Every structure is written in C-alpha cells, then in structure tokens.
C-alpha cells in the first residue's frame, strides 16, 4: 500500500490492490490510515520505551496506559495479576491505582526480575501494594503461589504481558482465565504484532504467532469469555476507535 499526503490540497491518497482512493486528510478515515503507519514506525523506533510511571520506566504506548487505567478504575478489582515485569512501571501503575481506589493489590510475575529492577520496585512508595513472584508465569509453582495470595471472594483482573508467542499466551489464558471473576477482564497485550511482521524490527512469523491470534482462539473455545473493546468513557471528538498496540486485547468474563 502507498499513502500520499498532500497537505496543500488537504487530501490523503491511498494506492493499493483494490485501486486508488482519495479522501479528506482531516477525516477519521485518514486519521485511521495514518495512525496505523505511525504505530508501525513507532514500534520499530521503540517509541513506547520513552515513558515512565512515577519514576519507573513503563514500556507501553501512552494511549494503552490510559485505557487500562479506565478499565481498572471501572472494574475496581481487589487483585491485579500481571505477567511480565520488565522495569516494573506497569506494576507501579497498577499499585498507584489500587492506592487511589482505596482497595486492591498487585501480583507481578516474571521468569526473571533483574536485581536493579527489583531494587527500584521494592524501594518505591508503591511497593506495599506489590508482590513479586520470580518464576515462569506458566509454571505450576507460579500458579500455586498466585492462588495462595487470593482470598475467597476477591475480584480478579489479569494482564498478560510476558512472552508474546501464541503458544505461551494460550497457556497463560488457560491457566489464568479461570482466576478472572465475573464482569472483569483478562487483557492480552501487544496483539499488534500481527500487523508489524514486515517492519524492519519485526518478524514474518508474527503474522500468525502472536497474542491476538491466541486471544481470538481462546474466546472461540471458551463461551464464558467475550471479546469486548472498552468503550469511550468520555469522547467529544470524531474518532471512535483506539490507536493502540493492544487490538483484540480485552476478554471480558461473563458474570
């Protein structure tokens, strides 16, 4: 596909297999096409690696940070389980939301929490709300530890952000899906991998080997879950879609 932006004429021209289309540059349709390319370039250039939350690096697209914040604030889970810790920014984000809500705590799991990242998390003001588990997220030991930390009747939301291979995500969905409570979510991040398999920093295998494919297959096999894109809590603009690294991410458990 070829996109031509003509700022003088105020048009966007799209050339592809289905022919040529011309549209108003200042339209939702043009915004969608340009945003998709912006996401692809940004992924290759590691745009999401330039942000932090309360002083700790958070490797997420800012729009996705705001979206997960909206969902957590609405669901108000008592337990937030996160697979994949990295620097710990997401753990700190979730913990800060728990503090603001006056309820909840975070269980963060990673096969390796590097010493400097552990020190940063454990010395942070939000550390009392966080429990770190250093194990593979799909190990029996990790699941047993997580279950031991959940009290009967507590509401649970899960965010999967560790190994993004389809097989690993499928295993996480099967293991952590049953822990999610009614009207809450299991969030499968970075499904955009399907659409960036051909960028310079991508991998052609991502076309099928990605979290989005795992999420879609899981929902098809588990009727207790539905794929639900969270709606806009507030929107006075003309855009009714998300600019996100997390397409098909939000799997809601039917109460």
Does residue 39 sit in the same domain as residue 60? no
pLDDT value for 81: 99
Does residue 93 sit in the same domain as residue 210? yes
Does the reported pTM lie above 0.75?
yes
Structure tokens belonging to residue 228: 């639900």
DSSP 180: P
Q: What is the pLDDT of residues 177-224, one digit of tens each?
A: 999 999 999 999 999 999 999 999 899 999 999 999 999 999 999 999
pLDDT band at 103; cut points 50, 70, 90:
very high
Does residue 119 sit in the same domain as residue 34? no
CATH code of residue 235: 3.40.50.150
Does residue 153 sit in the same domain as residue 183? yes
Q: What is the pLDDT of residues 224-249, one digit of tens each?
A: 999 998 999 999 999 999 999 999 99
DSSP 58: -
Does residue 11 sit in the same domain as residue 62? no
pLDDT value for 76: 98
3-state secondary structure of 127: helix
Does residue 60 sit in the same domain as residue 138? yes
Domain of 136, in residue numbers = 53-253
Does residue 60 sit in the same domain as residue 90? yes
Sign, Cα dihedral of 200, 205, 208, 212:
negative
Q: Per DSSP, what are the bridge partners of residue 107? A: 81, 131
Does residue 165 sit in the same domain as residue 230? yes
CA neighbours within 13 Å on the CB side: how many for 74? 14
Does residue 20 sit in the same domain as residue 59? no
Does residue 135 sit in the same domain as residue 88? yes
Task: Tell how strand 156-160 and strand 185-188 pair up.
Answer: parallel
* Integer Cα distance of 191 and 116 in angstroms: 29
Q: Considering the chain, what percentage of its residues have pLDDT values greater than 70?
A: 100
If one counts the domains in the chain, the total is 2
The predicted model gives 149-173 an average pLDDT of 98
* Integer Cα distance of 37 and 116 in angstroms: 35
Q: What is the average pLDDT score of the chain? A: 97
CB 163 within 8 A of CB 169: yes
Does residue 177 sit in the same domain as residue 114? yes
Does residue 92 sit in the same domain as residue 10? no
């Amino acid at each position: 596909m070829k996109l031509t932006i003509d700022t003088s004429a105020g048009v966007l021209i799209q050339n592809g297999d289905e022919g040529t289309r011309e549209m108003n540059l200042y339209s939702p349709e043009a915004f969608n096409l340009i945003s998709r390319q912006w996401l692809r370039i940004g992924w290759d250039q590691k745009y999401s690696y330039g942000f932090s939350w309360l002083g700790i690096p958070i490797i997420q697209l800012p729009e996705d940070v705001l979206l997960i914040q909206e969902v957590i604030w609405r669901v108000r889970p008592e337990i937030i389980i996160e697979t994949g810790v990295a620097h710990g920014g997401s753990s700190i984000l979730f913990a800060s939301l728990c503090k603001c809500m006056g309820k909840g705590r975070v269980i963060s799991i990673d096969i390796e929490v590097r010493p400097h990242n552990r020190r940063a998390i454990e010395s942070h003001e939000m550390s009392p709300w966080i429990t770190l588990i250093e194990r593979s997220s799909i190990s029996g030991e990790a699941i047993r530890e997580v279950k031991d930390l959940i009290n009967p009747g507590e509401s649970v939301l899960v965010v999967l952000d560790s190994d993004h291979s389809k097989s690993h995500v499928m295993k996480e969905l099967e293991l952590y899906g049953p822990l999610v409570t009614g009207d809450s979510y299991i969030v499968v991040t970075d499904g955009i991998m399907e659409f960036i398999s051909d960028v310079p920093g991508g991998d052609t295998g991502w076309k099928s080997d990605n979290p989005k494919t795992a999420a879609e297959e899981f929902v098809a096999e588990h009727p207790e879950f539905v794929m639900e894109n969270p709606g806009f809590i507030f929107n006075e603009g003309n855009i009714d879609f998300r600019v996100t690294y997390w397409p098909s991410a939000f799997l809601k458990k039917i109460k």
